[in-house]
Chain A
């Protein structure tokens, strides 16, 4: 009964004209940036954060969420037609998708990617609806020590999955926490690391930081390389996969949806991990594993379903615990905080319209995406032909404009440029910005949880190891840290990284 009552609440919000429009804008922009290589969902959400200041929070989250799951649809188009991933979660799709396109089967590849995404997205949303309420009741039993340890676990998993050096990724998490402490200390009112700049009393803003690290720095890196996209321009026909294609794909789609969804919930996980894991899984389960890498349709169906299901699953920790599972969710948390909404177990009760509205909007968004990505596929193919020399000046200009209007001050723009240059150098030196930004978002939550725990225990650190959930998270973190040092695991990790690099 509750299920339906909640859905009615949700749909009455999601179907409001304004929310419909912003949902469409979100999924449209999501598909767009998913298709275009060189700009990802994090950068786009950062650029659009200033836009969300002027609209109601529910509408803002509906739009930003649309960008994220929309990008999972769009990313496949570029992977299949060009052979380079439009988006990180579509890296693995390039292997079989591009082979299919070369064999003149671009149509079924695009079709199965879109249908798989739709089915997985829907399964993911149903999963969210079923899992979120019971998780909320568990989350209500979480005290500060549990929150603290869970956040540590999230950061450790994220750095464990870092593509390059784990030491560097951990270091970046440290830098993120440090950056998050800039500004007034919320408990004592003491200014920290502001260097006498009054604008920094409020802290380093998430918009200039994320726009710099993900927007500006990517532009700086991309203009150094002159890349030209070579699109497979066979006629796109038979978008609707044949019965044989369906037969080979439906199993992988359903399995990958479920696995992807649960991998998405995992703190530090997300769409990228899900696509890699399910590809490997399906290859192992397949009766014809030798076809993988040579244009197997299951090799497209599995990762494309998994990344969509994971994109939905990733919302669960944010909406129930208030802890972002990955960087994109970190951006959403930032957006909610701008509107003075603290996500967590109380949100479902205090803001049911927002909670169920956002979930219902995902059903609507998924239908919009199916329409956008199948009948309108030609539009995106045309867009792929727009050269980067036209795109990047526009992206740069919008970054600069968005960065200014938040506070009407050029201080944010200077910060953005600074972080842009820092991000550029970081990538040159093989440091990943994702752990930095996630740690930055978690910093104040982490500090509050730490302080409250210590006050609660009268200064004893034992509080973190005497509570079962807390100690479980910490032990798991420790296992991951130690295992990454063990030589055979380290070598295996490196091998996977090399494979991923070769795949791109």
Chain B
């Protein structure tokens, strides 16, 4: 599937949804524009541009003729997927496990598991990063960090 065609369909759908939502919010009149006025205009504009990109994808030019698979050709996409999943896991566990434990696990898993750094480097960098961020955020900026199971 041509990547531009697929992309434009997605944005067209988003534009259409916002048009529907804006109409429900009420467009008002030009004398007194309602809550839906600007989002409606933006939605129409997005749909028009999406249509334009869709039509352009049938034209010639090397940039426009790209299949979907080529976007992930020759890159280590598993690595970005892994980072995405790890980040999600961090967010899910942050408030139960606490700032120190989740942060430590995230850094160690990435640096040791994914990047294959040696243990010494991994541990030193993780601990320094955690300590510095604790000092900056908690002590200096007085931010509330989730304590979690460790209790501090």
Seen from chain A, the residues whose Cβ lies within 8 Å of a Cβ on chain B are: 50-51, 53-54, 164-165, 167-168, 170-171, 174-175, 177-178, 181, 185, 187-188, 190, 192-193, 216, 219-221, 223-226, 389-390, 392-394, 396-398, 400-401, 404-405, 408, 410, 413-414, 417, 420-421, 424, 428-431, 443, 446-447, 450-451, 454-455, 458-461, 494
Query: CA separation between A54 and B133, bound complex, in Å?
Result: 15
Q: List 24 A-B contacts (CB under 8 A).
A: A53-B141, A54-B143, A174-B42, A178-B18, A181-B42, A188-B34, A192-B36, A220-B83, A223-B79, A224-B77, A226-B76, A390-B111, A390-B121, A393-B129, A400-B106, A401-B99, A401-B103, A405-B144, A417-B84, A429-B7, A429-B71, A431-B7, A443-B38, A459-B32
Min CB distance A25 to B, Å, is 11
Flag if B38 contacts A447 (CB, 8 Å).
yes
Flag if A429 contacts B4 (CB, 8 Å).
yes
Interface class of chain A by DSSP? helix
> Does B149 lie at the interface of the complex (its beta carbon under 8 Å from any beta carbon of A)?
no
- Chain A residue nearest to B66 in the complex (CB): A430
> Does B87 lie at the interface of the complex (its beta carbon under 8 Å from any beta carbon of A)?
yes
Query: CA separation between A458 and B107, bound complex, in Å?
Result: 59
Flag if A224 contacts B144 (CB, 8 Å).
no
Min CB distance A498 to B, Å, is 9
Min CB distance B62 to A, Å, is 10
Query: CA separation between A459 and B46, bound complex, in Å?
Result: 24
Query: CA separation between A123 and B58, bound complex, in Å?
Result: 49
Instruction: Tell me which residues across on chain B come within 8 A of A185, comparing CB atoms.
Output: 35
Query: CA separation between A461 and B29, bound complex, in Å?
Result: 12
Min CB distance B43 to A, Å, is 7
Given A226-B76, A429-B4, also A459-B30 (CB < 8 A)? yes
- The contact string, 1 if C-beta is below 8 Å from chain A, for chain B 50-76, is 101100100000010000000110011
Instruction: Tell me which residues across on chain B come within 8 A of A174, comparing CB atoms.
Output: 15, 42-43, 45-46, 49
Please report which residues of chain B, range 123-140, place their CB below 8 angstroms from some CB of chain A when the two chains form the complex. Answer: 125, 129, 133, 136-137
Min CB distance A51 to B, Å, is 6
> Does B150 lie at the interface of the complex (its beta carbon under 8 Å from any beta carbon of A)?
no
Min CB distance A495 to B, Å, is 12
Residue of B38, B50, B99 contacting most chain A CB atoms (<10 Å): B38
Flag if B43 contacts A178 (CB, 8 Å).
yes
Flag if B39 contacts A178 (CB, 8 Å).
yes
Instruction: Tell me which residues across on chain A come within 8 A of B103, comparing CB atoms.
Output: 397, 400-401
Flag if A190 contacts B50 (CB, 8 Å).
no
Flag if B38 contacts A455 (CB, 8 Å).
no
Flag if B49 contacts A168 (CB, 8 Å).
yes
Flag if A410 contacts B94 (CB, 8 Å).
yes
Flag if A398 contacts B3 (CB, 8 Å).
no
- Chain A residue nearest to B17 in the complex (CB): A193
Within 8 Å by CB of B80, from A187, A226, A424, A430, lies A424
> Does B13 lie at the interface of the complex (its beta carbon under 8 Å from any beta carbon of A)?
no
Instruction: Tell me which residues across on chain A come within 8 A of B39, comparing CB atoms.
Output: 177-178, 181, 192-193
Query: CA separation between A226 and B78, bound complex, in Å?
Result: 13
